[in-house]
A and B are shown apart, each in its own frame.
Chain A
Amino acid sequence: TQLLEQSPQFLSIQEGENLTVYCNSSSVFSSLQWYRQEPGEGPVLLVTVVTGGEVKKLKRLTFQFGDARKDSSLHITAAQPGDTGLYLCAAYPEDAGNMLTFGGGTRLMVKP
Chain B
Amino acid sequence: EAQVTQNPRYLITVTGKKLTVTCSQNMNHEYMSWYRQDPGLGLRQIYYSMNVEVTDKGDVPEGYKVSRKEKRNFPLILESPSPNQTSLYFCASSPSGTWGNEQFFGPGTRLTVL
Contacts and interface: CB of A to CB of B under 8 A. Distances in A.
Bound pair (A, B) = yes
A25 interface: no
B42 A98 contact: no
B105 A42 contact: yes
A103 to B, nearest CB: 5
B31 interface: yes
B58 interface: yes
Contact of B107 (A41, A90, A104, A105): A41
Q: Which of A42, A43, A44, A88 has the most CB of B within 10 A?
A: A42
Chain A interface extent, by class: 20 to 34
Contacts, number: 67
Contacts of A42: 4, 90, 92, 105-108
A40 interface: yes
B43 A88 contact: yes
A62 interface: no
B103 interface: yes
A99 B48 contact: yes
Contacts of B107: 40-42
Interface residues of B, number: 27
A102 B44 contact: yes
Interface string B86-114: 00001010000111101101111000000
B42 A92 contact: no
Nearest to A3: B59
Contacts of A101: 45, 59
Contact of B105 (A4, A31, A44, A98): A44
Contact of A104 (B41, B100, B108): B41
B31 A102 contact: no
Given A40-B108, A42-B107, A98-B50, A9 B40 contact: yes
Contacts of A44: 105
Interface in B45-78: 45, 48, 50, 56, 58-59
Given A40-B108, A98-B48, A99-B58, A45 B103 contact: yes
B33 interface: yes
A27 to B, nearest CB: 13
Contacts of A35: 103
